[in-house]
Amino acid sequence: MKGKTINASEFLINSCEKFPNNTAISDFSGKLSYKDLFLKSFILSEQIRDELGDKQNVPISFPADKSIDSVIIIFSILLSGNIYVPYDRECGENRKISILNSIGNALTIMSKNKLDSEVEEKCKKIIYLDEVKINNADFSKCIEKAKTNLSSKISLDPAYIIFTSGSTGTPKGVTISHEGIIDYIHWACSEFKINESDVFASQAPFIFDNSTLDIYLSISNGAELYLAEPSLFTFPYKLVEQMNSKKV
C-alpha cells in the first residue's frame, strides 16, 4: 500500500504483493506461502465482518497456540478492522472467563479439531477456523478489497490486547495500537536488517507482548517466520539441531 502504514496487517499485504510464493510461515506441521497466508486470513476476515456487521474495533478472542492457525487468526482480525485478544488455553477456566467478560465476549475464533470446551460453551458467537475455505478466491481482487476495507482506519486504532497475569487480582488488559506496532517494527527493521531470504525463529508465546517482534519483523520483510516446536525448548540440543536444519 502506498503512503504511511496505518494498520499492521499492511505488512502482510505489502509482502504478499512482492513475494507471493515465498514461505511466510512454517512450523512442525507444515508451511504457508505469503499468498496463502493472506488469502486464508482475508477470507476469515470477511466472515468476521459478516458476523459483526458495521462494528469495528471489537475485541475478538482466540486460544493462542503456537501454530500457523494462530497467525492466520491474528491477521484475519487485523484485516477485519478489529482487535485480537490472545489467551492461554492452558490457564484456568476462571481466568479465561474473566478475560472474555472484560472484553465483551462478542466473538471467539477457534478450530473444531482443537476445541477449548471451557470457553466454547460460554461464547456468544464462535467462528471455526477449519470451516473457512479459500477455494477459488481471486488473489488480486482480495488484495484490493482488503485495502478498501482498511481505507477508513487510523494508526491509533487498537490492534491487540494482552492481559496481565492477574497475580494481584483480576487480570487487566493492556491495549496496544497499530502505531505502537508499526513504530517498533520500523525501528527493528533498521537495527536487524532482515530480508526476504532470512528465516526468523519465533519462541515467545503469542500471549506475550514480545511475540509482536517475531511476527511483524519477519512478515514486514517477506522473510519466513518459523514457529519452533514449544516442547524443544526443554531440550536445547534438539532445538539447535532444528534451528540448523531450518537455516535460522
CB 35 within 8 A of CB 20: yes
Q: What's the pLDDT score for residue 98?
A: 86
**pTM (2 d.p.):** 0.91
Sign for the pseudo-dihedral over CA of 192, 197, 203, 208: positive
Find out whether 121 and 132 touch, Cβ atoms under 8 Å. Answer: no
pLDDT of residue 25: 97
Q: What is the pLDDT of residue 97?
A: 85
Treating both helix axes as pointing N-terminal to C-terminal, what angle do 211-220 and 178-192 enclose, rounded to 10 degrees? 70
Q: What is residue 233's predicted lDDT score, i.e. its pLDDT?
A: 65
Cα separation, 128 vs 132, whole angstroms: 7
User: 21-37 pLDDT, tens per residue?
Assistant: 999 999 888 999 999 99
pLDDT of residue 118: 73
- Averaged pLDDT in 10-residue chunks for the chain of 248 residues: 81 97 92 96 96 92 92 97 92 84 89 77 84 85 96 95 77 92 96 92 87 95 89 68 69
